[in-house]
Amino acid sequence: MPSESLTSMENGAAADTAAAIRNYVRANMTALRDVDLRDDDNFFEKGFVTSIFAMQMLDFIESTFGIEVPDDRITLQNFSSIDSMTRMVGELKHAAGE
Amino acid sequence: MRQVSEEQTRDPVVRARLFAEHELADRAGEFDRTGRLPRDVIRKMADEGLLGAAVPKRWGGHGLDPLAYGELTESVGKACASTRALLTVHTSLVCETLAERASDRLKGKYLTDLATGRRIGCFALSEAEAGSDAASVTTRYVKKGDIFVLDGRKKWISFAGIADLLLVFANDNGVSSAFLVERDMPGVEIHPMSGFLGNRATHIAEVSFTDVEVPAENLVSGIGLGFGFVANTALFHGRYSIAWAGVAIAQAALEVMCAYATEREQFGTRIGSHQLVQKMVADAVTQVAAARELCRRAGRLRLERSTDAVMATNIAKYFSSTIAQQVTSDAVQVLGGNGCWDQYPAERLFREAKILEIIEGTSQLQQLMIADYGYKKFAVRSRGGEDEVL
Ligand SMILES: Cc1cc2nc3c(=O)[nH]c(=O)nc-3n(C[C@H](O)[C@H](O)[C@H](O)COP(=O)(O)OP(=O)(O)OC[C@H]3O[C@@H](n4cnc5c(N)ncnc54)[C@H](O)[C@@H]3O)c2cc1C
């Protein structure tokens, strides 16, 4: 369920990015929990994901979007919600001239 | 012993095998009895480039891909579990993790020294009250200006007895961070432990930190990234190493078992012709082959940087440590009284195999993660009108 703030600023590419991240997060959420995941939910705080998730997410983002996340971008804040990851991927792609 | 060409002797994997066969296999029993890995062995490993085998060339390593590194780990582990443990801890848990998660500045400061064996690293996560629940460590850090101050106590730290550098995990009110701590920083004390079932030559120690001042630049990755990113990256590499360690020990036990069964006679015939012995051998052959293929699969997925590599590694670690336990137990059985005697390698292999089911996440922890993955992947159910994988 995309949050309103993001919905209003989504363009096509960002929507695709968000959808890919959303699918990956959903496929990796702890299985035996019924959760309604919002794009602005901090899934570390809500305990939606297992502990290896952060590392997998970084690999997923780098391999799916063909970008390298620089050291100073690897912060819990940037990886804590679908919104924050979508924003970061958009900025990194923009910086790479895409 | 297989012949090797001149060209092959330049291949790090072949060199590792030769080193293991010529210089480790006959001494593994001695290392186990004396409880120490001699300096000359560690120096030779450094000279052979083993300690940086999986580290990118840019940082002084060999830059081996995961499949080659796995094969190398098997060769060393088949000859000596304690020596292989140095690869697991120093090369996989510490070096590979720094290569991926540390800043270039921190890599420049430490990684080349580690990859070339000028310094030895160890991995300090566990504590007396924080084992499987590793995120709950009570070692604390506080930021004061441009230093971090660490206080606490780690337990079961392999190679802490001889390491120069410790990768330490600490919490600040639930915010987990990782630090590189030098052994001779004031306030670091090493308390050697002994009396272990296996891994006896791995210089295990407790480590206490009392007001240890660590420069801010020794923070790995960033504040809050200790468990989620750094420890999990390390365990991803460590588990891959342990998966190959299981294949290694099981392969060694299989060879011991087969050699004995084709020599020893009882009831006027070789014991290997008794069908109940053949069952143990057949199971061992099959299990070793299956475990090796799971390790290779994990290796291929790692090479492709596939996100499936994480679960493939957990599955390989779980399976190969389980079968290593079964195969070594059967090796003891096939050798009978000699299997229980330290003049034969079976009892040592049996003890070493058990360790693999405990370290880098116990088998139960692997089962929890694998089951969770199973539900997500295989429990397809209909929700809100569309089919989705949980
Ligand atoms: C030889 C050796 C070397 C080691 N080297 C290192 C090292 O270099 N660095 C380091 O940081 N640590 C090291 N360790 C520590 C090791 O990682 C821990 O022993 C391991 O994580 C298990 O923790 P524990 O011993 O506290 O057992 P516990 O966590 O107390 O577990 C005890 C039992 O309870 C089970 N259990 C616990 N939680 C659950 C659960 N949720 N569901 C089902 N079962 C559960 C476990 O599977 C196990 O069977 C080493 C240990 C050994 C034996």
Kindly give the distance from the C-alpha atom of residue B360 to the centroid of ligand 1, in angstroms, as a whole number. Answer: 8
pLDDT over 50 (residue B55): yes
Do the Cβ atoms of B167 and B94 come closer than 8 Å? Answer: yes
Other CB atoms within 10 Å distance of the CB of residue B2: 8
pLDDT over 90 (residue B188): yes
Closest approach of A26 to chain B, Cα-based (Å): 8
Confidence label for B3 from pLDDT (cuts 50, 70 and 90): low
Instruction: Say whether B222 and A71 touch across the interface (CB within 8 A).
Output: yes
Confidence label for B5 from pLDDT (cuts 50, 70 and 90): confident
pLDDT over 80 (residue B9): no
Q: What is the pLDDT of residues A5-20, one digit of tens each?
A: 545 555 778 889 999 9
Q: Distance (Å, rounded) from C-alpha B186 to C-alpha B179?
A: 15
Closest approach of B135 to chain A, Cα-based (Å): 9
Superfamily for domain range B122-223: Butyryl-CoA Dehydrogenase, subunit A, domain 2 (2.40.110.10)
More confident residue, B64 or A23: B64
The predicted model gives B20-29 an average pLDDT of 97
Q: Is B68 in the pocket of ligand 1 (CB under 6 A)?
A: no
Q: Distance (Å, rounded) from C-alpha B353 to C-alpha B345?
A: 12
Q: What is the pLDDT of residues B235-261, one digit of tens each?
A: 999 999 999 999 999 999 999 999 999
- Phi, psi angle pair for A33, to nearest 5°: -135, 130
| Residue A16 tokens, joined | 């695709």
Size of interface A-B (CB pairs under 8 A): 65
Among B210, B151, B157, smallest CA distance to B186 is for: B210
pLDDT over 80 (residue B1): no
Question: Considering chain B, what is the average pLDDT of its residues?
Answer: 95
Q: Is B320 in the pocket of ligand 1 (CB under 6 A)?
A: no
Listed by start position, the domains of chain B span 8-120, 122-223, 228-380
**How many CA atoms does the CB half-sphere of B139 hold within 13 Å?**
33
Percent share of chain B, pLDDT over 70: 95
Q: What is the pLDDT of residues B85-137, one digit of tens each?
A: 999 999 999 999 999 999 999 999 999 999 999 999 999 999 999 999 998 99
- Spell out which residues of chain A touch residue B305, defining contact as CB-CB under 8 Å: 59, 62-63
Q: What is the pLDDT of residues B270-309, one digit of tens each?
A: 999 999 999 999 999 999 999 999 999 999 999 998 889 9
More confident residue, B74 or A37: B74
Beta strands B380-383; B269-270: pairing state = unpaired
> What architecture does CATH give domain B8-120?
Orthogonal Bundle (1.10)
Q: Is B135 in the pocket of ligand 1 (CB under 6 A)?
A: no
Q: What is the pLDDT of residues B295-353, one digit of tens each?
A: 999 999 999 988 899 999 999 999 999 999 999 999 999 999 999 999 999 999 999 99
Q: Distance (Å, rounded) from C-alpha B162 to C-alpha B183?
A: 9
Beta strands B147-157; B188-192: pairing state = unpaired
Q: Distance (Å, rounded) from C-alpha B375 to C-alpha B199?
A: 35
The predicted model gives A30-54 an average pLDDT of 79
Is the CA virtual torsion B21, B35, B260, B71 positive or negative?
A: negative
Kindly give the distance from the C-alpha atom of residue A5 to the centroid of ligand 1, in angstroms, as a whole number. Answer: 44
The pTM of the whole model exceeds 0.90: yes
Q: Distance (Å, rounded) from C-alpha A29 to C-alpha A50?
A: 7
Listed by start position, the domains of chain A span 4-95
Q: Please give the pLDDT value at position B387.
A: 46
Q: Please give the pLDDT value at position B380.
A: 66
- Spell out which residues of chain B touch residue A44, defining contact as CB-CB under 8 Å: 228
Confidence label for A1 from pLDDT (cuts 50, 70 and 90): very low
Q: Is B35 in the pocket of ligand 1 (CB under 6 A)?
A: no
More confident residue, B174 or B57: B57
Mutate to test the pocket of ligand 1, among B86, B93, B126 (most ligand atoms within 8 A of CB): B126
Kindly give the distance from the C-alpha atom of residue A79 to the centroid of ligand 1, in angstroms, as a whole number. Answer: 28
Closest by Cβ to B376, choosing from A31, A55, A59: A31
Instruction: Say whether A58 and B228 touch across the interface (CB within 8 A).
Output: no
Confidence label for B214 from pLDDT (cuts 50, 70 and 90): very high
Q: Distance (Å, rounded) from C-alpha B122 to C-alpha B185?
A: 15
Do the Cβ atoms of B256 and B331 come closer than 8 Å? Answer: yes
The predicted model gives A22-36 an average pLDDT of 81
Q: Please give the pLDDT value at position B388.
A: 45
Any idea which fold A4-95 has?
1.10.1200
Closest approach of A13 to chain B, Cα-based (Å): 22
Kindly give the distance from the C-alpha atom of residue B384 to the centroid of ligand 1, in angstroms, as a whole number. Answer: 41
| Residue B247 tokens, joined | 């294949």
In a 10 Å sphere around its CB, with 0-12 CB exposed, 13-18 middle and 19+ buried, how is residue B270 labelled?
middle
Kindly give the distance from the C-alpha atom of residue B246 to the centroid of ligand 1, in angstroms, as a whole number. Answer: 17
| Residue B154 tokens, joined | 């780690």
- A45 interfaces chain B, CB cutoff of 8 Å: no
Instruction: Say whether A52 and B232 touch across the interface (CB within 8 A).
Output: yes
Least confident piece of the model among B1-5, B177-181, B228-232, B354-358:
B1-5
Q: Please give the pLDDT value at position B390.
A: 37
Other CB atoms within 10 Å distance of the CB of residue A86: 24
Superfamily for domain range B228-380: Butyryl-CoA Dehydrogenase, subunit A, domain 3 (1.20.140.10)
Q: Is B373 in the pocket of ligand 1 (CB under 6 A)?
A: no
Q: Please give the pLDDT value at position B389.
A: 42
Instruction: Say whether B310 and A29 touch across the interface (CB within 8 A).
Output: no
Query: Which residue of B lies nearest to A50 if distances are taken between CA atoms?
Result: B369
Instruction: Say whether A32 and B375 touch across the interface (CB within 8 A).
Output: yes
pLDDT over 80 (residue A47): no
- 3-state DSSP of chain B: CCCCCCCHHHCHHHHHHHHHHHHHHHHHHHHHHHCCCCHHHHHHHHHCCHHHCCCCHHHCCCCCCHHHHHHHHHHHHHHCHHHHHHHHHHHHHHHHHHHHHCCHHHHHHHHHHHHCCCCCEEEECCECCECCCHHHCCCEEEEECCEEEEEEEEEEECCCCCCCEEEEEEEECCEEEEEEEECCCCCEEEEECCCCCCCCCCCCEEEEEEEEEEEHHHEECCCCCHHHHHHHHHHHHHHHHHHHHHHHHHHHHHHHHHHHHCCCEECCEEHHHCHHHHHHHHHHHHHHHHHHHHHHHHHHHHHCCCCCHHHHHHHHHHHHHHHHHHHHHHHHHHHHHHHHCCCCCHHHHHHHHHHHCCCCCCHHHHHHHHHHHHHHHHCEEEECCEEEEC
| Residue B94 tokens, joined | 């510490």
pLDDT over 50 (residue A65): yes
